[in-house]
Amino acid sequence: MKNINMIKFLLLPLILLSNFVYGQDSTTDTDSLDIKIGQMIMIGFNGTSLKDEDPIINEIKQGSVSGVVFFEKNIAESNSEIKLKQLTYGLQTLAPIPLFLAIDQEGGIVNRLKVKYGFPKSVTAAYLGELDNEDSTRFYAQLTAANLAGLGLNVNFAPVLDLASNPDNPIIARYGRAYSANPHIVAKNAGITIEEHKHFKVISVGKHFPGHGSSHGDTHLDMTDVTDTWNENELFPYDTLNKAGQLPAIMSAHIVNNNLDPEGLPGTLSKKILQGVLRKKLGFEGVVFSDDMQMHAITKYFGLEKSIELGINAGLDVIIYSNNIPNSEERTVKVVHDILRKLIENKKIPMSRINESYNRIMRLKKAYLYE
């Protein structure tokens, strides 16, 4: 029995590949509204293995979810690598459309795959930015990307494109998450990192647009206003990488910037920022992931339904509910899916927005997950 189980485990990658190649995506069925809505939802869940009673199993089978985001809570303390592979491949084999399987593996503090679980050592972006050495950045990017790909993870919420402009920033500079205060150094090292991830078919998501580096607050905890501290050069890494064709996706920031949006909406919910600045000014055509919609910068000031309505209309393509934020109400795929469908049916979100996002998401998946 052990030998049979081992053979099954070893064959999982081949089964997964055949599903992608031979059309388990069922493209003739993917034009239904429920599937399109599902492709816009990413969820986090508890546990290091799948159980038959887990709702996410049927939700994935039905195509009601686009992807899963992983945290340290999903990493088993023993046999970590094998168990995580079993989990990622198990999830993928359930899906009619390949899943985004995402993680925040920036390096340093923001590092889910820790040495104590048997994974390679990582370094901070600040360390690499200070070295500003192409070989060093490339080495660590290759190490990270190869590790993710081997584990079945295909999205990295990195690199950070924020500038370390405020050394007292409680969430960016303090943890060494930004390469530098110099936008040229940020763009250079981020570009190398994205390039190496692409070699391993791992999607890089640059964050946090339009720039979190000058903030004095933490959007995990409350609203943060950068109106008086944000600078135009914070767009430089996004603009540079986008023009070079190196930026497949970005993640929004929950920061308020009245210079970019006089209504004071946070970037994640702002049409002026996501459509006006990102799409029109910078010409970005990739996928926009929200930062975690359960962070208190959103939940304290906007209800669940209103934040979904504003966010999708603003230009979000994938909305993320990690179920990993302390003192935040748990969100399920069904609840989010039902709200999105109701908003569409009530004409509060136009079908054109759903189609735009669906097409972007499928282009990205086909570029990275189907080959």
- 233-251 burial, b at 16+ Cβ within 10 Å, e below that, comes to bbbbbbbbbbeeebbbbbb
**Are residues 152 and 218 in contact, defined by beta-carbon separation less than 8 angstroms?**
no
> How long is the chain?
371
**φ/ψ of residue 366, rounded to 5:** -65, -30
Beta-carbon neighbour count of residue 176 at 10 Å? Answer: 22
d(CA 58, CA 257) in angstroms, rounded, equals: 40
- Angle (CA) 306-41-244 rounded to 5° is 105
Closest CA to 76 of 86, 65, 66, 90: 86
User: Does 317 participate in catalysis according to the annotation?
Assistant: no
Q: 304, exposed or middle or buried, with CB in 10 Å at 0-12, 13-18, 19+?
A: middle
* Residue 84 in tokens: 């995580």
Set 104, 162, 291, 317: catalytic member: 291
Task: Give me the residue label for tokens 């960016």.
Answer: 172
Query: What region, left, alpha or beta, does residue 316 occupy, with left being phi > 0 and alpha being psi -120 to 50 degrees?
Result: beta
Place of tokens 């759903």: 354
Mind giving me the DSSP string for 163-179? ----TT-TTTGGGT-SS
Place of tokens 């388990």: 24
Mark whether 184 is an active-site residue: no
Strand partners, 251: 207, 289
Q: Which position among 197, 208, 212, 220 bears the catalytic label?
A: 220
Cβ atoms 228, 260 nearer than 8 A: no
- Joined together, the tokens standing for residue 148 give 């993710």
At residue 252, φ and ψ (nearest 5 deg) are -80, 160
Which two structure tokens, joined as six digits, stand for 113?
């795959």
Give the residue numbers marked as catalytic.
220, 291
